[in-house]
Amino acid sequence: MRIDGAVALVTGANRGMGQALAQELVARGARTVYAAARDPERIADERVVPIRLDITDPDEVAEAAKRCADTTLLVNNAGIAYVAPLIGPPSLRRAREQMETNYFGTLSMCRAFAPVLRDNGGGAVVNMLSIVSFFSAPGMGSFCPTKAALWSLTNGLRMELREQGTLVVGVHASFIDTRMSEGIDGPKHPPADVAATILDAVAAGREEVLADEDTREMKAALPRDLELIYPRLESEYHAASG
C-alpha cells in the first residue's frame, strides 16, 4: 500500500507511539492524518486533524467512521496497561478495563472501519500488539492476555478482510520508550524508529512486524515455550517479589 497520498486514522495519537506514527505518516506524504484521542485538545500538531475518540464508546466509534469516511489506513494504537499480576489485585476492575480497551475497543474500530476501507479500495489495518502477545509475564498478568487476544483477533481479521483487498498488519515489539513503559528497566526503542519500521512494512505489504531482536527470539521460542520461556520468567518473578 502506498503511504504517499493515503488517508490515515491513528488512535491514541496524542502522545507516544501514536504521535510518532502520525508524524511519520505526515513525513511520508499522507494526504490526511486523523489524529484520534480522548482529549483532542492535547494534539497541537497543525499538520494533522484532531478527532475526539474513545474507542470503548460505540457512539464515538460510529461517529468517527462517518466523519473519517475517506480513511484508507486504520492504525489501532490506543491501549492501556497496568502493572499488576492476575491474582494480587483486590478486584477484576483493571483486568476488565484493559480487555475492554485493548481487545473490544480495537474490535469495535475494526468492525466500524472495515466497510469504510472496502469502499475506498481495500486499504490497510495496523494493529499494535506486543512482545507479550507471545507469552505472559507474571508482573503484567492482566495486561498480557489482552495482547494475546488481540493477536488472535488480528489473524482472524486478516482472513475475513482478505477478499475485500484489505492488508492487515500485526505489530509486535518489546519496550518502546513511551509513558506506558515508564518505570520499566531495560532497553527501550525510540517510537520514531518503530513507526518507520511499521510504515515500511505497510508499504511493502508485509502482514507481520517483529520490530526488534527480542521479539523475534521470543516468537521463535514459541514451540518450546514451556521449556525456554516460562521457567526463566517464573524465576525472575519470584526473585523480584522476595
Domains of the chain: 7-240 (3.40.50.720)
Residues 6+ apart with CB under 8 A from 242: none
- pLDDT for position 180: 63
What is the rounded CA–CA span in Å between residue 164 and residue 144? 31
* pLDDT tens-digit readout, 132-175: 999 999 889 999 999 999 999 999 999 999 999 999 999 999 98
- pLDDT for position 173: 95
What is the rounded CA–CA span in Å between residue 181 and residue 196? 20
- pLDDT for position 145: 97
Classified as helix, coil or strand, 188 is coil
* pLDDT tens-digit readout, 171-188: 999 988 866 655 566 667
* pLDDT tens-digit readout, 1-14: 999 999 999 999 99
Read off the pLDDT of each residue in 209-233 and give the average, rounded to a whole number: 94
- pLDDT for position 182: 57
pTM: 0.93
Q: Where are the alpha helices (DSSP H) in the chain?
A: 16-27, 58-67, 93-98, 106-119, 144-161, 191-204, 213-220, 225-228, 230-240
Beta carbons within 10 angstroms of residue 239's beta carbon: 8
Check whether 53 has a pLDDT greater than 90.
yes
Residue 45 has φ and ψ, to the nearest 5°, of: -70, 115
Classified as helix, coil or strand, 44 is coil
Residue with cell 475485500: 164
With a pLDDT cut of 90, the percent of the chain lying above it is 85
Residue 224 has φ and ψ, to the nearest 5°, of: -125, 35
Check whether 49 has a pLDDT greater than 90.
yes
Max Cα-Cα span within the chain: 56
Check whether 230 has a pLDDT greater than 70.
yes
Read off the pLDDT of each residue in 39-50 and give the average, rounded to a whole number: 94
- pLDDT for position 43: 94
